[in-house]
Structure 1
Amino acid sequence: NDLKPGDYYFVETAAPAGYELNDSKLNFTVELQTTTKVATVSATNAKKTGSVVLNKTDSDTGKALSGAVFDLYKK
């Protein structure tokens, strides 16, 4: 509230849990108005993702084994 006419920007400093920080500048302009007009700015966040590598090894030799098939499930 009470911003004077001019160019401004938002910068996200903390993202919601489970989302990546969007640190890009979100520009907007407050224009001189004789009637009330609200500037609207929208921002998006991408969900964080991860990866996993599963290696199956021979318990006797420690060598990598090929040909094993796994299914991945989410709890």
Structure 2
Amino acid sequence: MKPALFQRLLVSLTLAASLGYFLILALRPDWLSGCVAGLPLSILLALAVILLLCGVSTLYSRVGDGEDA
């Protein structure tokens, strides 16, 4: 896959995750009222988005170095 195309996909994934996170918080806060293993769903959603963004930034840095992702 070409680096430029891969970078666009990573940017799109980042935008979609961020937009989706804030849309859920704004439009459907009742979806986040539950708990899983004693942790609130809102915290788990935030941690999942942070983990996704860390993975995207790692992949983006590898593409910038010229390595294959």
TM-score in terms of structure 2 length:
0.26
Larger strand share, 1 or 2: 1
Query: Which structure would you say has the larger RCO, counting Cα contacts within 8 Å and 6 or more residues apart?
Result: 2
Larger helix share, 1 or 2: 2
Task: Answer with 1 or 2: which has the greater Rg.
Answer: 1
